[in-house]
Structure 1
Amino acid sequence: MSSPLRTDILTITLNPAVDLATSAAEVLPELKLRCTHPQVDPGGGGINVARAVRLLGGQATALLAIGGTTGARLLELLTLEGVPTVAFQGPGETRQSLSVTETASGLQYRFVMPGPDWTAADVAQALRSVDRSATDGTLVILSGSQPPGVAKEFRSLLAEHVTDRGAKLIVDTSGPALHALARAPRAAIDTLRMDDAEAEELAGRPLPLREDSAAFARALAARGVARQVIVARGPDGSVLSTHEASWHCAGAEVEVISKVGAGDSFVGGYALARARDATLDDALRYGVAAASAACATEATRLCDREATEALLSACAITRL
């Protein structure tokens, strides 16, 4: 496996994938569907964040578990893109995912595989890799799904390791793992991000207005769940709250071609801005611009620097 690498931004992907994107005239049952040549990309939340950082002119190291021939292909793809990696041996074979766009309707169908089962020994190996790669001031980003067998408390355990090394942890999560974080606040979490549906599920009530999302996020920050809490509101942009202040940033109006990768582009833009000592509102705005840029690209393509910076002026920040 590759050697530890010190870095300002370290992304963690426990359940990476090789992503295939193609299109067919129609998606119908039972028939053989004639598809276009697939686009093949490295995938998984943390990997896509690292790729977005590079496309925006920065550099992040992707720490990931790999297995089998698909894992080797994944490392090859990342090398070709110029993304530095810290890879460790995971269980089983690295998964694949497939997205198919139906050209007749414009609808996109996304098929996501679960990935191999993990054991406690695999989790321990992942944490050792983090310990060797994170240092004082590193922004550690955990994004993407957890493999089967990894406990929902993993993010809390990771937070303890990050604290011990003076690093900052950014978490983009959902489901049981998000609920576990909300129940047991950890001072090490710098930023917690979720989308509006996840926020409403966690709150147990609708959050129809920006002010509702901001108040909920501010309450989480006040409880110590994270220093900053971000709620992504889809076409309505994103809200960021600390325990004492909130901002909303509207997304730029673009023709939406594919939303795949928009969330990872947001996290990449936000993290890169933070690594460059931007203020919280400017980091929020840069993340929203990156997400808007990603929505205007095809298939699994992410944001790029030129498009993101061109959209910045259209992403209006409002203090709530």
Structure 2
Amino acid sequence: MPDILTVTLNPCVDLATGISALEPGLKLRCSDPAFDPGGGGINVSRAIKLLGGRSAALVAIGGNNGARLLELLTQEGIATVGFQGPGETRQSLSVTSEADGGQYRFVLPGPSWSENDLRRALDTIDQATGRETLVVLSGSQPPGVAKNFPAILSGHVQDRRARLVVDTSGPALANLVEDPHESLHVLRMDAEEAEGLAGRALPSRADTAAFARSLVDRGIARYVLVSRGPDGSVLATSDGCWHAVSPRVKVVSAVGAGDSFVGGFTYALSRNDAPPECLRLAVATAASAVTTEATRLCDPDMVRDMMPQIDVTEI
């Protein structure tokens, strides 16, 4: 059984290209496209691989796009557990304008799921999960998957004495924090999501830390991470709260930055690093990811060089 298993129910084939300028009504001549495997859990696995770690990516696949996705994963050396999903695996498109450097991201919804599709996914996850496996659920849920899927998955993970890492949003996130789930090891969200759950503004790092710690105290998760955008990220555990911010970098593409953060944090957890060091690696991995083009994710040499520059302070 893998130490880390990432779950991607709504994967995609990411296509990235560039144009001289974005103008309506014209034929826009694009540069040669780059194709990458995409989707939250897949990007987490790719980041872990770049950092020198190993994981298995559990992926729903369908149609010609699904076959292409498996081919791209094989080319990158990502161990894959594929299972038949409904319909055709989706595509996404990111276009960068040379005129102003703006990036435009077009994301398709993906095929709709039935109860049988979900049951097949859970059966596959059960078979691939062992004791102490870090199961990472990251990315959007497909149409038709109920908002309580992370909570359902938590029960399956708990039955196998594994640990669940969740990076989700919207109704699925709100449902997850309503009741404690014993196997939920890590929960990540951004500042806007945290404020929505808190029902109030969280203007300072201390405010964010207090809210994150309240979720830990309620038993929602053992580790709660909140991204504050340019102001770094906050980590709360039962032993304390920490904040870290990366050095200033030139942002080329934001695609995959959040997934890279989760990949760095999960990889550090799998090595039994202390919580502040897990946060440090996560911040460095995400900061490196935004400096690369399209969906290339992090540069391991840059991550290594950046680590000593990141101050992790206790709140």
What is residue 137 of structure 2 aligned with on the other side? Answer: 142
Amino acid at match of 2:196: E
Q: How does 1:126-137 map to 2 (within 5 A)?
A: 126-137=121-132
Q: For structure 1, which segment, 144-153 or 253-262, has the greater mean C-alpha deviation from structure 2 after superposition?
A: 253-262
Q: How does 1:98-247 map to 2 (within 5 A)?
A: 98-247=93-242
Instruction: Measure how far apart 1:252 and its partner are.
Output: 2.1
Cα-to-partner distance string for 1:133-154 (whole Å, 9 max, x where unaligned): 0101110000000000000000
Cα-to-partner distance string for 1:50-83 (whole Å, 9 max, x where unaligned): 0000000011100010000000000000000000
Cα-to-partner distance string for 1:263-313 (whole Å, 9 max, x where unaligned): 111111111111011011100110000001111111111013211111001
The list of structure 1 runs, each at least 4 consecutive aligned residues, that deviate by more than 4 angstroms after superposition, is: none
What is residue 78 of structure 1 aligned with on the other side? Answer: 73
Cα-to-partner distance string for 1:174-208 (whole Å, 9 max, x where unaligned): 10000001112211100000011111111121111
**What is the alpha-carbon distance in structure 2 between the residues aligned to residue 199 and residue 20 of structure 1?**
31
For normalisation by structure 1, the TM-score amounts to 0.97
User: Would you say the 8 A contact 1:63–1:87 is kept in 2?
Assistant: yes
What is residue 28 of structure 2 aligned with on the other side? Answer: 33
Query: Which of 248, 254, 270 is the aligned partner of 1:253?
Result: 248
Amino acid at match of 2:101: G
Amino acid at match of 1:283: C
For normalisation by structure 2, the TM-score amounts to 0.99
What is residue 284 of structure 1 aligned with on the other side? Answer: 279
Q: For structure 1, which segment, 236-245 or 8-17, has the greater mean C-alpha deviation from structure 2 after superposition?
A: 236-245
User: Would you say the 8 A contact 1:219–1:243 is kept in 2?
Assistant: no
What is residue 63 of structure 2 aligned with on the other side? Answer: 68
User: Would you say the 8 A contact 1:250–1:316 is kept in 2?
Assistant: yes
**What is the alpha-carbon distance in structure 2 between the residues aligned to residue 291 and residue 117 of structure 1?**
31
Q: Which runs of 5+ in 1 are unaligned?
A: 1-5
SS in 1 for 2:177: helix
**What is the alpha-carbon distance in structure 1 between the residues aligned to residue 174 and residue 66 of structure 2?**
31
What is residue 268 of structure 2 aligned with on the other side? Answer: 273
Amino acid at match of 1:251: S
Q: Which runs of 5+ in 2 are unaligned?
A: none
